[in-house]
Amino acid sequence: MKFTKMQGCGNDYVYVNGFEEKIPQEKKPELVRRLSDRHFGIGGDGVIFINPSDIADFEMEMYNADGTRSQMCGNGIRCVGKFVYDKGLTDKEQITVVSAGKIKYLDMTVEKNPADGDNRGMVTKVRVNMGSPILTPEDIPVRVQGDEAVDVPVKVDGKEYRMTCVSMGNPHAVIFMNGVAELNLEQIGPSFENHECFPERTNTEFVEILDRGHVFMRVWERGTGETLACGTGCCATAVACVLNGLTDEKITVKLLGGELFIEWDRQQNVIFMTGPAVTVFEGEI
């Protein structure tokens, strides 16, 4: 099986061309676990199969490193855009990608190098219309009272935190605090992920406000653990920041693996995410 290793802000996945590689569906979870293993496999935060679609230009079939399905990955979908353009699966610089039934719109920045005789160029950056944030608790889902889960208390490992919950097609709990860089995520992350108030588990963002336009974020992703970046987590963080009056509607999210620019267009109620997409290497396994 041929594969491509790609990363966006250090959030790395193994990409498989589903047009050419036909893997039986029932074998994918075990295959994903093997490929994602950083010691005995290729290594990555998960595996993404790029497939044909009847309702969009392409389908993104995404799996976490533990073999469970996931609905959306902001860094992952940017790399899908780079994959299909750079490999000539499309000539369009604006495409649609469906994941778990939800269609996203990608606008790709293509850089050309005339010195190399390269007329098509390659994708260096992707802007994604991530759609509208979901704030209704039962749709996130999170078990809290009220119409929104904004600045609500949650007790984890005997300590009370304040969380704001948002879904970007997958659930997020955003925790604002100081000292994020020193936080022991290996200890606290699983306790948030598997907390009883999250019926489908959750991704958890620990966020420190730097100023009205910049925040620092670390993330614990369900089914994977701490990753260097999380695109949907950055989108959820931007929404949580605005809802709590902490930042403007356009922010730069600083991550362990780089930076993402997030804009919440309140008039359209749409989140835009812009960031890099990088091919690391190609291989066969």
* Segment 115-156, tens digit of pLDDT: 766 678 999 999 999 999 999 999 999 999 999 999 999 999
Mean pLDDT of 82-106: 97
Distance separating alpha carbons of residues 26 and 256, to the nearest angstrom: 34
Given a cut of 80, whether residue 26 has pLDDT beyond it is yes
Distance separating alpha carbons of residues 256 and 160, to the nearest angstrom: 26
- CA 41-45-51 angle, to 5 degrees, is 90
The structure tokens 């935190």 sit at: 161
Mean pLDDT of 169-188: 97
Given a cut of 80, whether residue 59 has pLDDT beyond it is yes
pLDDT for position 116: 67
The fraction of the chain above a pLDDT of 70, given in percent, is 99
Select which of 165, 197, 230, 241 is catalytic. 230
pLDDT for position 112: 86
- Relative to beta strand 58-64, strand 69-70 is antiparallel
Select which of 9, 73, 79, 241 is catalytic. 73
pLDDT for position 113: 78
pLDDT for position 117: 67
Tell me the domains of the chain and their CATH numbers: 2-129+275-284 (3.10.310.10), 137-268 (3.10.310.10)
C-alpha distances in Å from residue 210, one per residue of 116, 231, 254, 272: 42, 19, 10, 21
Given a cut of 90, whether residue 157 has pLDDT beyond it is yes
State the pLDDT confidence band at 114, using cuts at 50, 70 and 90.
Answer: confident
Given a cut of 90, whether residue 209 has pLDDT beyond it is yes
Mean pLDDT of 109-119: 79
Given a cut of 70, whether residue 268 has pLDDT beyond it is yes
Mean pLDDT of 242-260: 98
pLDDT for position 135: 98
Residue 241: both structure tokens together: 């920041």
- Closest among 258, 255, 251, 141 to 202, alpha carbons compared: 141
pLDDT for position 120: 86
Provide the CA 164 distance to its chain's centre, in angstroms. 18
Report the chain's mean pLDDT, rounded to a whole number: 97
250, β-bridge pairs: 263
- Active site includes 73? yes
pLDDT for position 119: 76
Given a cut of 90, whether residue 239 has pLDDT beyond it is yes
The fraction of the chain above a pLDDT of 90, given in percent, is 97
pLDDT for position 12: 97
